[in-house]
Amino acid sequence: MSAPRIGVLALQGDVREHLGALSAVGADPVTVRNRAELDSVDGLILPGGESTTISYLLDELGLADPLRARLAAGMPAYGACAGMILLASEILDAGSGTRVAVPLGGVDMTVRRNAFGRQVDSFEDYLSVAGFDDPVHAVFIRAPWVERVGADVTVLARAAGHPVAVRQGAVLATSFHPEVTADHRIHALFVAIVTGRA
């Protein structure tokens, strides 16, 4: 079986780190910056970064509606931090003016941006994640949390009483950044989702 072709949305954020983690777990990682590249992938990672900027660039480059359509059609996706925010169906504190984070609707959830605080409030923890035997090293950087999940959403991990890792069907999202650690189990889980093994 050939390696799944998994895209990393390369508009802003930890693109290189996600590409490296995907390579480490046996995927064929590629960058996605346009419609043709989006159409060529089996799954997509939306990395961390600034959610309002990524949302603005998706719209400017004509990628927002095609991405929504692919998500609605069942394309597997994984969002980390800003990616989690964008995959939500509702975003609290979404921004103001022309820079607003617009939800893509991949997961039936309400997410609050910067819920854990500012950059100086960033922290690391070890979290119990459903399906994993050992705790996951989780790095939170100006991280969101989930305030509401729909009936079809599975909460995989919590921090400070709030969901910080969720899954709905083929869509996975975390508040934290596994790509900046040596623990690639979240990426391995996503590859398993893409290939139908999870």
Q: Where are the domains of the chain?
A: 5-195
H/E run at residue 17:
helix 15-24
- In whole angstroms, what is the distance from residue 167 CA to residue 9 CA? 19
Is pLDDT at 1 greater than 70 in this prediction? no
Average confidence (pLDDT) over 24-39: 97
Quick one: pLDDT at residue 41?
98
Q: Is the dihedral of CA 170, 61, 66, 59 positive or negative?
A: positive
- In whole angstroms, what is the distance from residue 24 CA to residue 4 CA? 13
Residue 167 annotated in ligand binding = no
pTM: 0.96
Q: How confident is the model at residue 96 (pLDDT cuts 50, 70, 90)?
A: confident
Average confidence (pLDDT) over 99-125: 89
Could you give the count of Cα atoms lying within 13 Å of 71 in the half-sphere of its Cβ? Answer: 25
Helix runs in 25-142, H state only: 35-39, 51-60, 64-72, 82-87
Residue 91 annotated in ligand binding = no
Average confidence (pLDDT) over 129-146: 96
Instruction: Give the range among 59-63, 76-80, 81-85, 93-97 with minimum mean pLDDT.
Output: 93-97
Q: How confident is the model at residue 155 (pLDDT cuts 50, 70, 90)?
A: very high
Residue 49 annotated in ligand binding = yes
Quick one: pLDDT at residue 132?
97
DSSP 8-state code for residue 101: -
pLDDT more than 70, % of the chain:
98
CB within 8 Å of 112: residues ≥ 6 apart: 91, 92, 93, 144, 145, 146, 147
H/E run at residue 18:
helix 15-24
DSSP 8-state code for residue 104: -
Catalytic residue annotation: 81, 177, 179
CATH architecture entry for 5-195: 3-Layer(aba) Sandwich (3.40)
Residue 141 annotated in ligand binding = yes
Return the exposure string of 104-117: e unless at least 16 CB atoms fall within 10 Å of the residue's CB, then b: bbbbbbbbbbbbbe
Q: How many other C-beta atoms lie within 10 A of the C-beta of residue 159?
A: 18
pLDDT more than 90, % of the chain:
89
